[in-house]
A and B are shown apart, each in its own frame.
Chain A
Amino acid sequence: MSLLTVEGVSKRFGGLAALDNVSLTVEPGAVCGLIGPNGSGKSTFFNVVTGVIPSDSGRIVFRDQEMQSAPPDRRQRLGLARTFQEIQLFHDMTVLENVMVGANRMGTADVFGALFRPPSVRAEERRLREIAQAWLAFVGLSHLAGERARSIPYGHQRLLEIARALASDPHLLMLDEPAAGMNPAETRALMAQIERIAAKGITVLLVEHNVRMVMNLCRAITVLHHGQVIATGAPAEIQAHPAVIDAYLGRTEI
């Protein structure tokens, strides 16, 4: 049984078919990859699955629930966590608070809990803090817990965003071009990090521009080109797939 099933999803922007009848499945426990050249529709796909952009047609089933019309916050509460291509942090909150917001799904206290603070709410607050601290330690940012998010270096901000997504204990972690703007050394560290996440049994869907990274990390890869899926399979199959070679290198020039 699949964790995420995307079936025949289409999205048009005016005359441009950004996604044309795209289907994809993610099996639990795997690191899956979605690659494609610039403008192939990767980001649109990502936004449609996370709910930021509504799709025109098609089904999105996550954990056996139809989600194509659910708002993004509900998808997160179901266990679909994400990061952003362009880092989106709570700049003026501390690093720890950022991750605690990520763990929001793990708590229930609201206005009345905050005002009257019964023991259960205090315990919950402690638990959220512990969860956040644990994930900060996991990505290696514990020493920055008290700093404001805006003041830490770019590479660390990227890790912070991942820790924030992990803190919701997601069933599926979607990473949107996490290696964008990173140098080769940082990319290698990031790959190691993703492997550690997968080793914890968290399913990862990696949307990446960097083909080598996806080939090394993923068991199943889907290739998008002009809004259409042109190939699906294991890394070796993808590498040999003629349509993929065409899409990336172009036919006539070779």
Chain B
Amino acid sequence: MTFDTIAQLVVSGLTIGCVYSLIGLGFALTLKATDLINFAHSEMVMLGAFFGLMLTAQLGVPFVGAVLISAVATGIVGVIIERFILGPIMVRKAPQLNLLIATLGLSIALQALAIIFWGREPIAYPDLFSSQPLVILGLRVQPLQLWIMGVSLVVMGALQWFFQRTVTGIAWRAASLDATTAALYGVGRRRNVALTFGLSAALGGAAGVLIAPLFFASFGLGHSLIIKAFAATALGGFGIVGTMVGGLALGVIETLTAGLISSDYKNIVTYALLIAILMLFFRPRLPKGRPASDAAKVSVSDISALIATPARKLALAGGLLAIWAGVGWFGDAYLLRIVNMSLIAALAALGLQVIVGLTGQFSFGQAGFYGIGAYTSALVTMKLGVPFWLALPLAGILAGCAALVVAPILRLSGHFLAMATLALGEIIVLLMLNLKVITNGAYGLYGIPLPSFGSYEVESEGAFFVLISAVVALVYAAVVRLLHSRFGRSLVAVRENELAAIACGIRADRQKVKAFVIGSGCAGLAGSLYAHYLAYISPESFSFLTSVQMVTMVVIGGLGSLPGAIIGAFGVTLLPEMLRVLADFRLVVYGGLIILFMLFLPGGLAEVGRRLTSALLAPRKTGGRP
């Protein structure tokens, strides 16, 4: 490897790094002003790319003009999003997770809209500059690379000038340090937040136009960049100048890894780096308390008190049994298939409820453990001839062990934990893709044997229904037992107030790890069932989107509610089926529904259920208390 090649790699690294910096800056701005990691930021990049495409290809606008106009256009979109969607949720002091889910819903809806307008295929930009490389100091540089770097640096310079030299910029910095005090000095909070989202989206849009000539404009463009941009932000310590430097550094590290080691592993390196940085620099030193004034307005739903009498318990059990038998006897193959898929998802969601709902730790990597379970079960049955009844618990145990190995990331909290688990999930998928000898790479594994018990093979949809629901029932009963115990109370105590939990002698770190292992183990069981049910698995089934779906199940069902996890799993699995008639608009409506949910039903379906039941069962006892 010559010096020349390395220098060449560094140049392309700096080019891509400039774009990471721009996107990362958008992240840093919203994070500083509102403590929100805005997942919809990736769609601003995507929108910018398409706006730029229309401007350059159809209207013949020059490159720099396209960057500016797209930035303004996405900036306006950003302000609209803040005004009508995220702002109202923030005003309600909804829990962090609800906001995260709302931005994810927004991201899904915007991507679906992009598919409707521009199709699924990536579209190339017209040739803007000559492809004849210039030779500068002995290095070959494409004119496009120069433009990308030049425009990015000018934008970053302007931003730095804005924050250091203008009154609005200084006011913004004051408000990001202490919004309340800044408000006392006349810095309007709402206006400031709107400005932030506008600026952030504009930066994303500009980055989109800059990167799209290299990567093409596609609906998934932003998604592929977002984690890296966040890594750039983390690398720079979430500051403004830091993010600029962090992006450049990340770009160089990435291209060097790809050039010197292997391009298969460059993303693994990026994600591992992100986790390492978060662990080193963003671990909270003091446990977090939660004063009474700061209590989240959404109460965690618990309907167990309402069915406390034996008669009601019996009625509920009888009703559920009747529905179960009815579905089993009369359900056709299609219905049973959807129900089976929902039940498998419910199993993973139950596990996630233990981690997120009971213990309060964000996990956006649940699909990774789901995948570990699926691959374990498939591989041990196919390659080692292990019977299914042994492979199933093995899948759960192995997923739990994997969770134990990565458990140190639980020292992170809040959004940082969300990002670290997200990166972790992606690393797991990348390993599935790249360890081809074991996993068969992107082709996946097929011909996974049917579950068998002795000579009996589980083959029909009905038989699978019985098997899957039995496992779900068993796990549900176990989780209920865990919840109503000294152990369960300690988990909920950690969720409610970590500082107080520690003051009550609870080893918060250790309890978090236990919850994480148990929850991931459930995902492993679900993965095993999934593998043997479909007989085919591939890495893409376990990607970030699946993790997001699982979190959505838990939040829509109701955080902390075990029945909620099941209902949420059914809802999230059934909804796209029911929306199938909408064809391309399906995901737009789906994303929109998620946003509406976060806006108007922050407590999830369990909250609705609780209110309904208490209204039905105790109509006279409602007056007085809040």
Q: Which residues of A contact B (CB under 8 A)?
A: 50, 52-53, 71-74, 76-77, 81-82, 84, 86-93, 97, 100-102, 104-105, 107, 109-111, 113-115, 117, 121, 124-125, 128, 147-148, 150-151, 154, 157, 164-165, 168
Contacts and interface: CB of A to CB of B under 8 A. Distances in A.
Contacts of A81: 503
Given A88-B500, A92-B496, A104 B505 contact: yes
Interface stretch (B118-126, B288-296, B378-386): B288-296
A186 B30 CA distance: 44
A104 to B, nearest CB: 5
Contact of A88 (B291, B296, B478): B291
B489 interface: yes
A114 B482 contact: yes
Contacts of B508: 73
18 contacts: A50-B503, A52-B499, A72-B503, A74-B505, A88-B500, A90-B493, A92-B492, A101-B490, A101-B493, A104-B486, A111-B518, A114-B482, A114-B484, A114-B486, A115-B478, A115-B482, A121-B485, A148-B299
Q: Which 5 A/B pairs are nearest by Cβ-Cβ distance? A: A114-B485, A76-B505, A90-B496, A88-B500, A77-B505
Interface in B493-507: 493, 496-497, 499-507
B487 interface: yes
Contacts of B502: 71-73, 76
B300 interface: yes
B625 A151 contact: yes
Interface residues of B, number: 39
B626 A151 contact: yes
Contacts of A110: 486-487, 514
Contacts of A165: 503
Given A93-B493, A114-B485, A151-B626, A84 B504 contact: no
Contact of A104 (B292, B295, B504, B514): B504
Interface in B457-500: 478, 481-482, 484-490, 492-493, 496-497, 499-500
A60 B296 CA distance: 37
A91 B496 contact: yes
Contacts of B447: none
B65 interface: no
Interface string B262-302: 00000000000000000000000011011110011001100
A239 B496 CA distance: 42
A97 B482 contact: no
A174 to B, nearest CB: 10
Contacts of A101: 489-490, 493, 501, 504, 506
Contacts of B505: 73-74, 76-77, 104-105, 168
Contacts of B560: 92
Contact of B486 (A74, A107, A147, A151): A107
Contacts of B286: 52-53
A100 B292 contact: no
Contacts of B506: 73, 101, 104
Nearest to A107: B486
Contacts of A88: 289-291, 497, 499-500, 503
A124 B289 contact: no
Contacts of B481: 114-115, 117
Contact of A125 (B289, B300, B486): B486
A82 to B, nearest CB: 6
B11 to A, nearest CB: 43
Given A104-B505, A164-B504, A91 B514 contact: no
A53 B507 CA distance: 16
A71 B503 CA distance: 10
A97 B489 contact: yes
Given A73-B503, A104-B505, 9 more contacts: A73-B508, A81-B503, A88-B503, A92-B496, A93-B489, A101-B493, A104-B490, A109-B487, A115-B482
A88 B295 CA distance: 10
Given A101-B504, A168-B504, A113 B485 contact: yes
A110 B510 CA distance: 12
A87 B487 contact: no
B478 A150 contact: no
B544 to A, nearest CB: 30
A75 B490 CA distance: 17
B567 to A, nearest CB: 20
B276 to A, nearest CB: 24
A104 B506 CA distance: 7
Contacts of A53: 286
A109 B485 contact: yes
A84 B478 CA distance: 35
Given A73-B508, A84-B503, A113 B292 contact: no
Q: Which of A52, A92, A100 gathers most chain B CB within 10 Å?
A: A92
B167 to A, nearest CB: 30
Contacts of A86: 289, 291
B269 to A, nearest CB: 34
Given A90-B493, A92-B496, A115-B478, A76 B486 contact: no
* Residue with the greatest number of chain A CB neighbours at <10 A, chosen from B287, B291, B296, B482: B291
Nearest to B484: A114
Contacts of B289: 84, 86, 88
A76 B504 contact: yes
B503 A124 contact: no
Contacts of B507: 73
A125 B485 contact: yes
Contacts of B503: 50, 72-73, 76, 81-82, 84, 88, 165
Interface string B560-581: 1000000000000000000000
A10 B496 CA distance: 32
Q: Which of A73, A82, A97 has the most CB of B within 10 A?
A: A73
A111 B514 contact: yes
Contacts of B497: 88-91
B299 A92 contact: yes
Give the most central of A84, A117, A124: most B CB within 10 Å. Answer: A84
A157 B292 contact: yes
Contacts of A150: 292, 295, 299
Contacts of B484: 114
A203 to B, nearest CB: 17
A71 B287 CA distance: 11
B486 A113 contact: yes
A72 B289 CA distance: 14
Contacts of A104: 486, 489-490, 504-506
A44 B93 CA distance: 31
A105 B291 CA distance: 23
A50 B287 CA distance: 13
A121 B490 CA distance: 15
A91 B504 CA distance: 15
